[in-house]
Amino acid sequence: MDKTIKLQNWSGSQTSTFQDGIKPKNTDELIEVVAKMKSRSQPFKIVGSSHSFSHLIADQKSDLVSIESLHGIQEIDAANATVTVSAGTTVKELSRELWDKGWALENLGDIEEQSLAGAISTGTHGTGLAYQNLAGSVTQLSLVSPDRGVEIFTKNSPEFAHLIVGTGAFGVVSSYTIKIVPKYHLKLDLFPEKLDSLQNLLPEWLEKNRNTEVFWFPGTDVLLVKLTNEVKSTIINNRKSEFIADFLENTAFGAIAKINRALPFTHPLLAGLLKRLLPTSTKTDRSYKVYATERRIKFQETEYSIPISQLWPVLDKLKALVNKGQFPTLFPIEFRFVKNDSFSLSPSFGEEERVYIAMHTYYLDSFYEEYFREAEKIFIQASGRPHWGKMFFADAEQFRAMYPKLAEVKKLRESFDSERLLLTSTMAEVVYPRS
C-alpha cells in the first residue's frame, strides 16, 4: 500500500502532504483497512479526488484513506437502466465509459474531476428544475463502516435518506448503483443579458429549457446566460465556440484577474472591459462535453442553496453588498436551479425547489473570507444551506436550524461509528457536536 497521499484542492490554494496515507487496491483491502482503524481506535477520513474547498475532509489527526484505486464500471443493467460503479471512479471516467456503451448520466455539474463518492456525498448538483442533485440518481450504495462492517442500502432502506448525502461521516462507500439514460447530445446557447431583465426572463428560461445557468459579474449590470437543450443532431463543429470559451474564460479572464489584484484601482475599468468581452455562441456535443467546463484559473469558492422564492430579495442584498466596493472581485456570482429532494442532509432537502448561488474570488485575494462571511449572513437569513464541498463558516446552532432531521442523522451515525473515528474537527464541532 502507498504511504503518502498528496492533496491539493481544486482551487490550488491549499496543498498538504500527509504521511501514513493508505490506498486500498480493492474492496477486500478496504474492508481490512476500516477494520484495522477500528481496532486501533485511529481516526481516518476518505479521500477522493480532493476537489473540495471545505474543511470536512481532512485534518492532522486523521489518517487518510484514498479510494482512487476503486474505480471502473462493475455492471450495466440495461433492463433497469442502471450502472453499478466503484465509488472512486471520477465523474469524467464514468461519463466516457458509459458513452462508449451507449449510455449517459441524466444530468451533471460543470466540473467532472470529482470522485463519485465525493460528488454524491456532498450533494453536488447540476442545474435544471427537473433534476435533483447527483444523489437523486442513486438507487443503491455499498458502505463499509467501523461498527457495522459491509452493508448494502437501497432507496427503500429506512437509513438511505440519512446516508446518501453523508459527507463521509458514516463509513466508506465502495460502490453505487446509479440510474442512467440512453446517450444524448446537447446544444448550449450562450449569450449576455441585462441584469435588470433577469426577474422577467428567468421564469420563461426555466420553463422552456432543460438546463438554465446564469452568471452575474459584480461591478457590471450584465449577465452571461447558458441555456441547454437536448438535440437529435449529432453534427459537432465547435472549434470556434470552444476557442472563444477557452480564451475568454481562462486566458483573458486570468490576465484580467491578475491585473485586478495587482492594481486594485483598475477594477472599474476592468469590469467595463469584461462586460464588453462577454460572448454569444452555440455549442453542440456529447452531453458530458457540454456540461463540463475546463477552468484553469485558481479561485476560492462558497456556495449556498436557498428556496427559489427567496431569490429576488437575496439578489437585492447581494447587489448592495457588492456595491459597497469593499470586495473588488471580478469573478461571477453563479446561479443554478435544482429540484428539491428528501435526503436528510442534502442542501436541497424540503418542499421547495432551490437556487444554488456560488460566489468566487481569485485564489490570492485576501478579502475572500470577509466577502464570503457577509454573503453567508444573507443566505442564512433566507433559509440557506451551504454546499458541503465548498467553504462555509456556519456554526452548530445554525446547522441545527438548517436541517430539521439532523438529530435523527446524528443518532444513526453513532451506530456506524461509535468512536467518532470518521469525524474531522470541523464535522465534530459543527455538524455532530456531542450532546
* DSSP string computed for 55-77: SSS--TTSEEEE-TTS-SEEEEE
CATH fold group of domain 73-182 = 3.30.465
pLDDT score of 387: 95
What mean pLDDT comes out for the span 134-143? 98
Please determine, for residue 294, whether its predicted confidence score (pLDDT) is greater than 80. no
pLDDT score of 53: 62
Q: What are the C-alpha distances in Å from 91 to residues 8, 111, 256?
A: 18, 8, 31
Give the residue extent of every domain in the chain.
73-182, 185-386
What mean pLDDT comes out for the span 302-329? 94
What confidence tens digit (pLDDT) does each residue in 267-279 have? 878 878 777 888 8
What mean pLDDT comes out for the span 226-238? 84
pLDDT score of 268: 79
What mean pLDDT comes out for the span 314-320? 96
What mean pLDDT comes out for the span 89-98? 96
Per-residue confidence band for 19, with pLDDT thresholds at 50, 70 and 90: very low
pLDDT score of 1: 36
Per-residue confidence band for 119, with pLDDT thresholds at 50, 70 and 90: very high
Per-residue confidence band for 48, with pLDDT thresholds at 50, 70 and 90: low
Indicate the residue type of 290.
V
pLDDT score of 243: 63
What confidence tens digit (pLDDT) does each residue in 363-392 have? 888 899 999 999 999 999 999 999 998 999
pLDDT score of 169: 95
Please determine, for residue 18, whether its predicted confidence score (pLDDT) is greater than 60. no
Per-residue confidence band for 8, with pLDDT thresholds at 50, 70 and 90: very low
Question: Cell match 474537527: residue?
Answer: 425
**Are 32 and 144 in contact, with CB atoms under 8 Å apart?**
no
- Residues 140 and 153: their CA atoms lie apart, in Å, by 6
What confidence tens digit (pLDDT) does each residue in 154-169 have? 999 999 999 999 999 9
Please determine, for residue 250, whether its predicted confidence score (pLDDT) is greater than 70. no
pLDDT score of 52: 62
pLDDT score of 6: 41
Query: Across the strands, what pairs with 63?
Result: 44
- Residues 206 and 90: their CA atoms lie apart, in Å, by 29
What confidence tens digit (pLDDT) does each residue in 192-202 have? 999 999 999 99
For all residues of the chain together, what is the average pLDDT?
Answer: 89
CATH fold group of domain 185-386 = Vanillyl-alcohol Oxidase; Chain A, domain 3 (3.40.462)
Per-residue confidence band for 297, with pLDDT thresholds at 50, 70 and 90: confident
Using CA of residue 120, residue 121, residue 127, residue 129, what is the dihedral sign?
A: positive
pLDDT score of 404: 96
pLDDT score of 64: 86
Q: Which residue has the higher pLDDT, 214 or 283?
A: 214
Q: What are the C-alpha distances in Å from 215 to residues 190, 331, 361?
A: 11, 9, 14
Per-residue confidence band for 328, with pLDDT thresholds at 50, 70 and 90: confident
Q: What is the pTM of this model?
A: 0.91
pLDDT score of 13: 37
pLDDT score of 277: 80
Percent of the chain whose predicted confidence (pLDDT) is above 70: 89
